[in-house]
Amino acid sequence: NAGVTQTPKFRILKIGQSMTLQCTQDMNHNYMYWYRQDPGMGLKLIYYSVGAGITDKGEVPNGYNVSRSTTEDFPLRLELAAPSQTSVYFCASSLGGSNTEAFFGQGTRLTVV
Amino acid sequence: QQQVKQSPQSLIVQKGGISIINCAYENTAFDYFPWYQQFPGKGPALLIAIRPDVSEKKEGRFTISFNKSAKQFSLHIMDSQPGDSATYFCAALRGGYNKLIFGAGTRLAVHP
């Protein structure tokens, strides 16, 4: 039981490049989330999904896209990388309903130069 | 708009002392208030949580105090240990939405 797995752990992108951050969970959780963490700013919700085929915007969605074709996977897409997207990205999942505990992955440290 | 405000930003406590971190929220629709603990290079992990129908919850050395009328809640770490050194995040969630909104975090350092 691996929990929430994120890849890659580190990545350097040039301005204007695109990439996909991968996230997969093996707990059969309905809810999945993408957060970004910036120093002194806490975790900001980018996008979330309540189940396969359903996604919605969080607090800071601009510059990102997501899809949820399966229960297990929730990739985050950056189309035109900008320096403002330099951050640590965390994927999380929760069962939903009355079970609200969120389980986080190890994070992806992204630098845009 | 910061829905959950956390203070202090950083905290230094001597071993054996009490660490206190405070949070305030604005949305009265929030009905679940967890605290997450994060060690360097790791993702946050749930530490303890409370719902607004109780004023206090204790798990070992960790206690949440909740003041519904003031819209405030706090984390108390008794007998703080160097192993407690981490970043702590308060959060709030509105029932039925399952979107956790986090505070800015508090970096705690417990000195031996």
Position B81 pLDDT exceeds 70: yes
Q: How far apart are CA A112 and CA B83, in angstroms?
A: 33
Residues 30-49 of B with CB under 8 A from A: 32, 34, 41-46, 49
Chain B residue closest in CA terms to A101: B46
Question: For A84, phi and psi rounded to 5 degrees?
Answer: -65, -15
Secondary structure class of A94 (helix, strand, coil):
strand
Chain B hits for A50, Cβ within 8 Å:
98
Are the Cβ atoms of B89 and A106 closer than 8 angstroms?
no
What's the gap between Cα B36 and its chain centre?
A: 7
Chain B residue closest in CA terms to A47: B99
Mean pLDDT value of segment B12-22: 98
Q: Would you state the structure tokens that stand for residue B19, as one six-digit string?
A: 């660490």
The string of pLDDT tens digits covering residues A28-53 is 999 999 999 998 788 999 999 999 99
CA distance B3 to chain A (A): 11
Cβ contacts of residue B33 below 8 Å, gap of 6+? B23, B25, B49, B50, B51, B52, B64, B66, B73, B90, B91, B92, B93
Are the Cβ atoms of A100 and B98 closer than 8 angstroms?
yes
Are the Cβ atoms of B99 and A48 closer than 8 angstroms?
yes
pLDDT at site A39: 81
Cβ atoms of A35 and A21 closer than 8 Å: no
Does any CB of chain B come closer than 8 Å to the CB of residue A41?
yes
Residues 56-75 of B with CB under 8 A from A: none
A with B: how many residue pairs have Cβ under 8 Å apart? 55
- CA distances B14 to A75, A100, B76, B80, B111, Å, are 42, 33, 14, 7, 5
CA distance B59 to chain A (A): 16
pLDDT at site B3: 87
Position B6 pLDDT exceeds 70: yes
Position B1 pLDDT exceeds 80: no
Which residue stretches of chain A have pLDDT < 50?
A: none
pLDDT at site B2: 65
Instruction: Look over chain B and give the mean of its residue pLDDT values, rounded to a whole number.
Output: 93
Position B64 pLDDT exceeds 60: yes
- CA distances A23 to A92, B52, B107, Å, are 8, 33, 27
Are the Cβ atoms of B105 and A96 closer than 8 angstroms?
no
The string of pLDDT tens digits covering residues B37-61 is 999 999 999 999 999 899 999 999 9
Q: Which residue has the higher pLDDT, A42 or B96?
A: A42
In the structure, what pLDDT confidence band is assigned to residue B98 with cuts at 50, 70 and 90?
Answer: confident
